[in-house]
Amino acid sequence: MSNLEDLYREIILDHYRSPRNRGELASPPAIRVEGFNPLCGDELVVYLSVDNGVLTDIKITGHGCSISQSSSSLMSAAVKGKPIAKVREVIDTFKQLMTVHEATLDHDGEPAKVDLRAIGELAALQGVVKFPVRIKCATLAWNTLSQGLDELD
Amino acid sequence: MACGRDMTSYDPRRVRTDTPLMNRVINGHPITYLDSASSSLPPRAVIEAMSRYYELRHANVHRGVFQTAVEATDAYESTREAVANFINAPGGSGEIVFTKNATEAFNLLAKSWGYANLKRGDVVLVSEMEHHANIVPWFQLREVNDVEVRFIPVLDDYRLDLSHIDDLMNGVKLVSVTGMSNVLGTINPVKELATIAHRHGALIAIDAAQSIAHSNTDVAELDVDFLIFSGHKMLGPTGIGVFWTREEILDAMPPFLGGGGMIADVRTDGYVPANGPTRFEAGTPPIAEAVGLGAAVRYLEGLGMANIVRHEHELTKDALDRLSSDFSGRVRVIGPPDTVSRGGVISLDVEGVHPHDVAQVLDQFGVCVRPGHHCAKPLMRRFGLAATARASFGPYSLTTDTDVLIEGLGHAVSMFG
């Protein structure tokens, strides 16, 4: 059964109240990329500093619900200082965590297991999958980051 | 009366028992439906009318000579009659055009009447509190005809700023405003706006989508030129909207969508459009939906619009009083704080809690409210908001709905600290 405690874990509320890596970076040299969720009005801007194939810094501004804001904060903490290849790996793992389709649901409707130990605090967002309309809130920052990385190519 | 209802009695609890969806249990709680501004819940009379139509009379309308085709046509056309009476259309049913929804009706207004009658530099005057349906079609027309789209500002008290209206009217050919804001609940002075528009030689269109089920609408008395609304916000089904204008205006409007049903003749070298409302109803129309809309009109008439207005006024006053006193300022109403010229649409801004989270918490208590920009982004920007959580009443709403809303809001406030 889906319930609010699954969705609003303490880590999520903490990142919502005190978002990490909040702010801007001078662009250029930083990559600046905007993300919108036109359905609910969430907006964010992600700034990326990349040096020698490493994401040396990331800052995020914008506004949105607790899920989108905490997800962007958790994301920034998870990817900052990582090599780009590793960042892409984390993005892929997170997207897997957010993907629900019949093949990944067992008969109780529970999502398939992603190796939660490998993703640390991000695991707090797994409850979002039980609230399908909120998945787009959780993935906004990640899609925006992804778009930013594509600009590197 | 079709359902034997006593014309003079109105009891919202009775309306509730008439409405099957009110039996739903959501997350273990009886449903508390506070989203009528988005879509209202149809009574059994509407659902059964549509079922009966499909079970007994379904056929395509017009031109059929067999029995059920004649019955289907009669049913479809009788709703035109019922709607004309409901809004007191002076020219009767010949002035009622059925569309898919209110949005399509606005597109009909802009793309047929607007395209034919507005030229470069002509002004369409809308307001900052309009739904996108009454903004985007005008911007689209601007791309074609180079018309100007001008906005009546909204004041800090959530009312239209009419202090410079005579200046704003310069060059205006059409005033197109909402009768009741779907975000603020503000009821606009339609009759006064009609007088102003006509004094300046302009026509006036009213977006009645929000007001139609919550006020008495008399187009002759209001002296407006166009009226637009949808079925599903007045206890009817989705998939049907209404466009009304005076007969002489309708007769001069070029066709909108082309196809079957809207023609008088088609040859290999061209076509001649039909006259009357069917000119604007290309293709098989929403027949079952029209039948449902007819039932909804009769149902609302049975309740009595004045009774509904009075009841919703009391509900709104009670809710506004409690929302302002129960949360020591943490819950702010985005809309007029009093019930003067105000409908039962209550947009909330909860300090420190995003509207989506408010709605998510409320859903756990079976409370249906709508988070978002409510298709009114210019208005949201005007008040520096990305979104609100909106609760809205219908004729089946009770003060107990407000109880549950307030209890749920309390949880949202404490959860997010």
Are B268 and B358 found together in one domain?
A: no
Tokens representing B172 are 């205006």
The overall average pLDDT reported for chain A is 86
Tokens representing B192 are 């006064």
Are B114 and B59 found together in one domain?
A: yes
CATH of the domain at A89: 3.90.1010.10
Given this model, what pLDDT does residue B5 score? 46
Are B165 and B227 found together in one domain?
A: yes
Return the percentage of chain A with pLDDT > 90, whole number: 50
| Chain A contact present for B360, CB below 8 A | yes
Count contacts between A and B (CB, < 8 Å): 46
| Chain B contact present for A137, CB below 8 A | yes
Among B183, B349, B351, B354, the strongest candidate for a mutation testing the A interface, having the largest count of A CBs within 10 A, is: B354
pLDDT above 70: residue A114: no
> Residues B233-275: pLDDT tens digits?
999 999 999 999 999 999 999 999 999 999 999 999 999 999 9
Residue range B348-373: average pLDDT?
95
Are B80 and B223 found together in one domain?
A: yes
Backbone torsion region of residue A120, taken as left when φ is above 0, otherwise alpha when ψ lies between -120 and 50, otherwise beta: left
Full residue range of the structural domain in which residue A121 is found: 4-150
Greatest Cα pair distance in chain B: 72
Cβ within 8 Å, pair B372-A40: yes
CATH of the domain at B339: 3.90.1150.10
Given this model, what pLDDT does residue A102 score? 46
A87 vs A102, more confident: A87
Which residue on chain A is closest to B381 by alpha carbon? A41
Tokens representing B398 are 């009770």
Overall pTM surpassing 0.90 (yes/no):
yes
Q: ipTM for the complex? A: 0.85
C-alpha distances in Å from residue B341, one per residue of B188, B196, B208, B346: 7, 19, 15, 13
| Chain A contact present for B200, CB below 8 A | no
Among A12, A14, A66, the strongest candidate for a mutation testing the B interface, having the largest count of B CBs within 10 A, is: A66
Is-catalytic flag, B375?
yes
Tokens representing A134 are 């909120």
pLDDT above 80: residue B176: yes
| Chain A contact present for B58, CB below 8 A | no
Residue range A90-100: average pLDDT?
86
The overall average pLDDT reported for chain B is 96
**Is the residue at B142 inside a domain?**
yes
Residue range B349-359: average pLDDT?
95
Are B234 and B250 found together in one domain?
A: yes
Are B253 and B111 found together in one domain?
A: yes
B218 vs A100, more confident: B218
Distance CA A16, CA A20 (A): 9
Full residue range of the structural domain in which residue B198 is found: 49-302
CATH of the domain at B186: 3.40.640.10
- A101 falls in which pLDDT band (50, 70, 90)? low
Are B194 and B152 found together in one domain?
A: yes
Return the percentage of chain A with pLDDT > 70, whole number: 86
- A131 falls in which pLDDT band (50, 70, 90)? confident
| Chain A contact present for B383, CB below 8 A | no
Distance CA B70, CA B64 (A): 6
- A2 falls in which pLDDT band (50, 70, 90)? low
Pairing of strands B370-372, B388-392: antiparallel
Given this model, what pLDDT does residue A127 score? 86
Pairing of strands B32-33, B123-127: unpaired
Residues 23-62 of A with CB under 8 A from B: 39-43
pLDDT above 60: residue A110: no
Residue range B129-146: average pLDDT?
97
**Is the residue at B18 inside a domain?**
no
| Chain A contact present for B28, CB below 8 A | no
**Is the residue at B20 inside a domain?**
no
> Which residue, of B247, B282, B302, is where some domain finishes?
B302
pLDDT above 70: residue B285: yes
Residues 218-277 of B with CB under 8 A from A: none
Q: Could you tell me which of B210, B206, B253, B251 has the C-alpha nearest to residue B112?
A: B253
- How many structural domains comprise chain B? 2
Given this model, what pLDDT does residue A5 score? 83
Closest by Cβ to B386, choosing from A3, A13, A41? A41
Closest by Cβ to B357, choosing from A41, A43, A66? A66
